[in-house]
Amino acid sequence: MINVFHHFLENTYAAISELKRVTKQGGRIALMDYKKLDTGYGPPLRFKRSPEEVEEIFKRHGLKMVHLDTGVGEELDGGMKSHNLIVFQKN
């Protein structure tokens, strides 16, 4: 999922349940979305989630974070990258 997870703010449970349903045992779900920063870039801050928030949400569905890369996306002022890439595994 690239640049779409923030759209599921009201339907997060249903979205993750469907991702889990269509993922095979041992399969992975990759999520790349905007960092939770008020940069004027991307969606409003209220729609953005930190990696810790995303991990907790997926953990409740039995999905384990197996990779976090905070240096992806476009370069913002100050040399910071715009996105996080988080990969979860269904065990």
Q: Between vectors from CA 54 to CA 46 and to CA 34, what angle results, nearest 5°?
A: 55
Helix (H, G, I), strand (E, B) or coil at 21: helix
**pLDDT at res. 10:** 85
83: its two tokens: 């996105």
> Which residues are paired to 41 by β-bridges?
none
Lowest mean pLDDT among 7-11, 28-32, 69-73: 7-11
pLDDT tens-digit series, residues 46-58 = 999 999 999 999 9
Q: Which domains, ranges and CATH numbers included, belong to the chain?
A: 5-90 (3.40.50.150)
CA 44 vs. chain centroid, Å, equals 15
Q: Which of 88, 3, 6 is nearest to 47 (CA)?
A: 6
Rounded Cα gap, residues 39 and 51, in angstroms: 17
Model pLDDT, residue 71: 95
Mean pLDDT of 64-90: 95
Confidence of residue 2 (pLDDT cuts 50, 70, 90): very high
> Residue 26 pLDDT more than 90?
yes
Mean of per-residue pLDDT scores for the chain: 94
